[in-house]
Amino acid sequence: MIHEFYEDTEIFVTGGSGAVGKALIEKLLRSCDVRKVYILLRTKKNLSVEQRLEKLKQAKIFKVLHATKPHMFERLIPIPGDAALPNLGISPEHIALMANVSVVFHCAATVRFDEPLPVALKLNVGATYEALLFAEQLKNLKMFMHVSTFYSNPYLKRVEPKLYDSPLDWRMCLKLLQDDSKRETLDYLTKKLTVGFPNTYTFTKNLAESVVNDFRERLPVAIYRPSIVLHALSDPIPGYPPTLMGAMGLFVLVGAGILKTVFLSFSTRFDITPQDIGIKTMLYYAARAGNEYAQKKAIAEAPVYMSSSSKLSSHTFFQMCQVMEGGLWYKAAFEKNFMLPTCHYTDSRFVYKFLVFTKQILPALLADGLIMLTGRKPVLMGIVRKAYISLEVMKPFLFNTYDSPGLTHIEEMTEATKGTEFDLFPDITLAKTDEGLIDICTTMIFSIREYLLNENPNTVPIAQKRLRIKRWVYNILRAIIVYYILRWLYGFLLNYIEGPTAQ
């Protein structure tokens, strides 16, 4: 079904330079015989759209495509524009160029949890509205797939693949955004407007779903809700990490010996969507929804599809961290380490704050002080601060477990994709066992090292040797400090005991 749906089609992708967008484009070019893939790009850092496209093609996720089907890059066409602008900033000439587009994947969004509300509204709600208006100009449209998030309804303990009422009217929010005099009001009212939502990201993604649903009678639309997107299990590269943001960034900081403590609930299940599973399921859902729309004229509600590991794995985030603490950080030692890669996990706010101060802030201040003495700019306190803020905004997901039916239509999808390049097995079963979790974590950490930190796999033995030396130095310093503390304590107690006798 997937091959037939995408064969000889022209596809438009927004957010194509992001982690999900790049993975989607890679799979479309490598596994689907598409005619063209248009990607929305804006000029950035003095780079033209064409220069950004060339840089994008060099991303490591395209490694397999370069080796097997390099000619497919000729079908990737840049479209100058900006998701934050009316009509996506696309010129009439480029709109005419895309007249034969039949599938749209709207991946553009800001994924910063602490984004100011006006910015989040503009990029997550306004851009979705503009993308839908653009899609209305496509005469051959078969499917508009909107990429949302599993956490768009975080006030619910169980999430079903259906739409829920939004707390506010998205039209009203966009009107406030358009009125410059009321933008300050939006900032001021953020906490009141987002009641029930832990951050502006989930709030605006919820509103965006309502925008999509309101177009259901005008366009063939669907909504895809992935949970936390982590590394690919096997396709195109085993362990390929999507981005340094979110959980991946925290793992990097632990491995680098900077993040020394995490505040979390030990029982919170970590709901993940491996990157390759997410892309395969999204392509299947878009094809499924497109075929359904072709068979009927009216639809009561925009179809919603979810990617969730809730029925496939019961492992908690803490268990995942324990695997890494069980020697994995040393097995995949990073070249760049500040301190030893160990982390303390606690559900006590007091213990967490104490450890942040003693194991992160104090060492960072000391190191930055030494760096400043050499005439260089201090950096570690900035990293520690960002890590602390990231954990604070992630706290709702580290303390709450959300239930769901799991992968939507998993049995049907498994049967339909069996033996194809979109087959979910055996990857999808890996996380069910403890051994599978260990394999997943091991592959992920080695891939983070190679693809995010750009460290050569051949340097692992050298990095391990350096870590062993650091551990010896650390143990010696700790022994010296303990010795002097005990010596001082002994002298203090001796003086205290002998004091009255001397008088």
Has residue 231 got a pLDDT over 60?
A: yes
Q: Is the pLDDT of residue 74 over 90?
A: yes
Confidence of residue 500 (pLDDT cuts 50, 70, 90): low
- For residue 44, the model assigns a pLDDT of 87
Question: Which residue, among 319, 287, 283, 289, has the nearest Cα to 302 in the 3D structure?
Answer: 289
- CA-closest candidate to residue 141, choices 98, 94, 204: 98
pTM: 0.91
Q: CA–CA distance from 371 to each of 214, 260, 338, 383 (Å)?
A: 56, 21, 13, 14
pLDDT band at 492 (very low <50, low <70, confident <90, very high): confident
Rg of the chain, C-alpha, whole Å: 26
Phi, psi values for residue 461, rounded to 5°: -60, -40
Mean pLDDT for all residues in the chain = 90
User: What share of the chain in percent tops pLDDT 70?
Assistant: 96
Residue 427 pLDDT exceeds 80: no
Which pLDDT value is given to residue 297?
A: 61
pLDDT at 120: 93
Which of 290-299, 402-411, 493-502 comes out lowest in average pLDDT? 493-502
Distance CA 8, CA 285 (A): 18
Q: What is the mean pLDDT of residues 101-130?
A: 93
Which of 33, 40, 26, 44 has its CA nearest to residue 9? 33
In a 10 Å sphere around its CB, with 0-12 CB exposed, 13-18 middle and 19+ buried, how is residue 240 labelled?
buried
Q: Are 118 and 183 in contact (CB under 8 A)?
A: yes
